[in-house]
Amino acid sequence: MRPAQLFCIRPLEPRDLDAAAAAANAACRQAYAFFGYDQPVSASRERIREAQAHGERCFVPEVAGVVVGILTLKPAFIDRLFISPCWQGHGMGSACLDFTKSLYPSGLELHCAQQNYPARRLYERHGFIAVAEYIYEPIGIGDVVYRWPGS
């Protein structure tokens, strides 16, 4: 089997929900440690269910049959992109961004916590430009609004 066959991004299936939620929760614990993120996996699972219920397109990056993250999309908006910490730095986030750009070639937007520096570097490497900052209430953390202008 060639290495390219070991990785794919595919639509979320019901059987993926627990693994996707666990990956998202682990990524959130790492990314949002600065404000004491301590939500249970069940909260991540519920947020993914809500995204589906609201019509978001949900995808999972998968390596050799193992779900390693979650990607949820509103039209031209990346709502969630979380990769399990043990898979970060292996190109999964980049692949998800390239995949999303192929779906929305005229441009994208996303929001990122100001203090999530690794994610911000990833987005900026992929041509996303910070266009605004604001405080996300009620938890009071700063967000950066990023836009990718399209190809």
Number of domains in the chain: 1
What is the CATH classification number for the domain harbouring 12?
A: 3.40.630.30
CA distance 85 to 30: 7
* Domain that includes residue 18, residue range: 3-148
- Name the token pair of 5: 């066959």
Q: pLDDT value at position 4? A: 55
HSE at residue 7, side-chain half, CA atoms within 13 A, is 14
Report pLDDT for 5.
Answer: 62
Instruction: Output the pLDDT for position 35.
Output: 75
Question: Which pLDDT value is given to residue 2?
Answer: 45
Q: What is the pLDDT of residues 60-101, one digit of tens each?
A: 999 999 999 999 999 999 999 999 999 999 999 999 999 999
Q: How many residues does the chain have?
A: 151
H, E, C per residue of 118-150: HHHHHHHHCCCEEEEEEEECCCCEEEEEEEECC
Structure confidence by residue, pLDDT tens digits, 97-151: 999 999 999 999 999 999 899 999 999 999 999 999 988 777 778 899 999 999 8
Examine the pLDDT at 32 and tell me if it is beyond 90.
Answer: no
| pLDDT tens sequence across 1-29 | 345 568 999 999 999 999 999 999 999 88
